[in-house]
Amino acid sequence: MLKAGILGGGQLGRMLLQAAANYPVETYLMENDSNAPAAHLCHHFTKGDICNYNDVYNFGKGLDAITIEIESVNEDALEKLQSEGVKVYPSPSALRIIKNKIRQKEFYTALQIPTSSFIVTKNIAELNEQAAFIPAVHKIAEGGYDGRGVQVIREKNDISKGFDAPAVLEKMVNIHKEISQIVAINDKGEVALYPPVDMVFDPDLNLLDYQISPAEIPEKTKWKIEAIALAIAKGLKSAGIFAVELFIDRNGEVFVNETAPRVHNSGHHTIEANYSSQFDMLWRVILGYPLGNTAAILPAAIINLLGEQGFDGEAYYEGLKEVLQMDNVFVHLYGKKMTKPGRKMGHVTVMSRDKVDLIHTAHKVKHLLKIKTG
Ligand code: ADP
């Protein structure tokens, strides 16, 4: 049986392991927290630091394949493992490009993939010299996630909020829609595209609020997005799953925002709403099986369950029974014991043939199900 390792034990790792149970694969997982969401679903748990060279190397050296659920892993160790014959998804070279926002933007430019124009700033002094470039968005090159490495610079006064570290300063896009396009590519170079997802953000928390799939976009825009996602997947020269996040601006122009080299938040609905989920698909890639069918069974919405403001402690799921009574509503709780404001605690997928009903039900779920403390 193939031995496959996952670096990171959060909800993405948890859902990957749920899908792994269908296949002949022995699962290994490394994570610092032995109570992490995925820790109890793997066959073999290793406590360790995914950013530490020795930890990652020692974890991976007996395995056939290794994948990640988060980008902040030690890619030097992955490179060494790859050179010794371990299959790594995504490849360390793709991970290196994506992990660093400067390299990532340069990669898009080199491939002539549309992305908002940018300049590189090494420190705050360099940012100070770029007043002519604003309004813009400052993004730290490494280590930012969930909006924490992103600072909007609308006017001169905002410059002081920028990062005193290597970063990209990119032109502000007048966003009409944010879209995610998930693409799978296997070792043979065969590809499969999921229907695009319309992401709707909570401006306060800067975290994904809810999502609708398939996104309502003109056919031509859809083709553009698919061509971009394919160019990225091929350009990275790596098998795996990639989630390409894009902006459509008010003129209908498409720009790539960023790519995640792994299963993604915007694809959780695929568990119920598509024939082959993104998690199932990644196992098909890793195990060398045929790619799955990405078609939607029904339109779907994902509602993220975030810890309510003002509640910090052991989680209590208010309204859970009411939501479980609803038809075509699927609750996923991530097994996190403690809640805090804004913490991702789970998600709910709603499915409906009718878009109006879908949005109505999504709002109802959001209103009913609250993560508080008991
Ligand atoms: P993270 O990787 O932390 O999620 P993103 O690069 O996705 O950061 O940026 C977070 C959010 O900031 C985006 O979803 C978008 O709403 C906004 N944003 C990012 N870049 C731009 C841009 N160039 N123009 C306008 N808004 C942007």
Q: Is 58 exposed, middle or buried (0-12, 13-18, 19+ CB in 10 A)?
A: middle
Paired strand residues for 44:
28
Give Dmax (Cα) for the chain: 59
Of all protein residues, whose CA lies closest to atom 1 belonging to ligand 1?
A: 147
Kindly state which CATH superfamily the domain 175-373 is placed in: ATP-grasp fold, B domain (3.30.470.20)
Number of the ligand 1 atom closest to the C-alpha atom of 144: 3
Predicted local confidence at residue 69, as pLDDT: 96
Is 143 close to ligand 1, i.e. is its CB under 6 Å away? no
CA nearest neighbour of 314 among 279, 345, 331, 339: 339
Q: How far is the CA of 259 from the centre of ligand 1 (A)?
A: 12
Of all protein residues, whose CA lies closest to atom 5 belonging to ligand 1?
A: 147
How far apart (Å, rounded) are the C-alpha atoms in residues 223 and 228? 9
57, 77, 310 from 84: Cα distances, Å: 11, 11, 50
Q: How far is the CA of 150 from the centre of ligand 1 (A)?
A: 7
Residues 6+ apart with CB under 8 A from 111: 231, 232, 235
Pairing of strands 344-351, 300-306: antiparallel
In the CATH scheme, what is the code of domain 117-171? 3.30.1490.20
Is 145 close to ligand 1, i.e. is its CB under 6 Å away? yes
Q: How far is the CA of 135 from the centre of ligand 1 (A)?
A: 13
Q: Is 306 exposed, middle or buried (0-12, 13-18, 19+ CB in 10 A)?
A: buried
Is 186 close to ligand 1, i.e. is its CB under 6 Å away? no
Number of the ligand 1 atom closest to the C-alpha atom of 146: 3
Predicted local confidence at residue 143, as pLDDT: 82
Number of the ligand 1 atom closest to the C-alpha atom of 255: 23
Q: How far is the CA of 239 from the centre of ligand 1 (A)?
A: 26
Tell me the domain boundaries of the chain: 2-89, 117-171, 175-373
Predicted local confidence at residue 265, as pLDDT: 93
**Rg of the chain in Å (alpha carbons):** 20
Is 205 close to ligand 1, i.e. is its CB under 6 Å away? no
Predicted local confidence at residue 209, as pLDDT: 75
Mean pLDDT, the chain cut into blocks of 10 residues (374 residues total): 97 98 98 96 98 98 97 96 98 97 98 97 94 94 82 92 95 95 98 95 60 95 98 98 97 97 97 98 98 98 95 97 97 96 96 93 93 93
Q: How far is the CA of 256 from the centre of ligand 1 (A)?
A: 10
How far apart (Å, rounded) are the C-alpha atoms in residues 7 and 74? 10
Q: How far is the CA of 238 from the centre of ligand 1 (A)?
A: 25
Which CATH code, of 3.40.50.1100, 1.20.1110.10, 3.40.50.2000, 3.40.50.20, is assigned to 2-89? 3.40.50.20
Residues 6+ apart with CB under 8 A from 292: 192, 275, 276, 277, 280, 281, 284
34, 45, 126 from 48: Cα distances, Å: 9, 9, 38
Q: How far is the CA of 257 from the centre of ligand 1 (A)?
A: 7
How far apart (Å, rounded) are the C-alpha atoms in residues 137 and 95? 23
Predicted local confidence at residue 204, as pLDDT: 56
Number of the ligand 1 atom closest to the C-alpha atom of 139: 6
Of all protein residues, whose CA lies closest to atom 20 belonging to ligand 1?
A: 137
Q: Which residues of 9-34 are buried (b: 16+ CB within 10 A; e: fewer)?
A: bbbbbbbbbbbbeebebebbbbbeee
How far apart (Å, rounded) are the C-alpha atoms in residues 18 and 40? 11
Predicted local confidence at residue 210, as pLDDT: 83
Is 116 close to ligand 1, i.e. is its CB under 6 Å away? yes
Distance of CA 110 to the CA centre of its chain: 23
14, 26, 30, 273, 277 from 60: Cα distances, Å: 19, 13, 9, 33, 26
Q: How far is the CA of 16 from the centre of ligand 1 (A)?
A: 26
Mutate to test the pocket of ligand 1, among 71, 117, 118, 137 (most ligand atoms within 8 A of CB): 137
Is 71 close to ligand 1, i.e. is its CB under 6 Å away? no
pTM: 0.95
CA nearest neighbour of 330 among 361, 371, 370, 288: 361
Mutate to test the pocket of ligand 1, among 104, 150, 201, 250 (most ligand atoms within 8 A of CB): 150
Q: How far is the CA of 173 from the centre of ligand 1 (A)?
A: 9
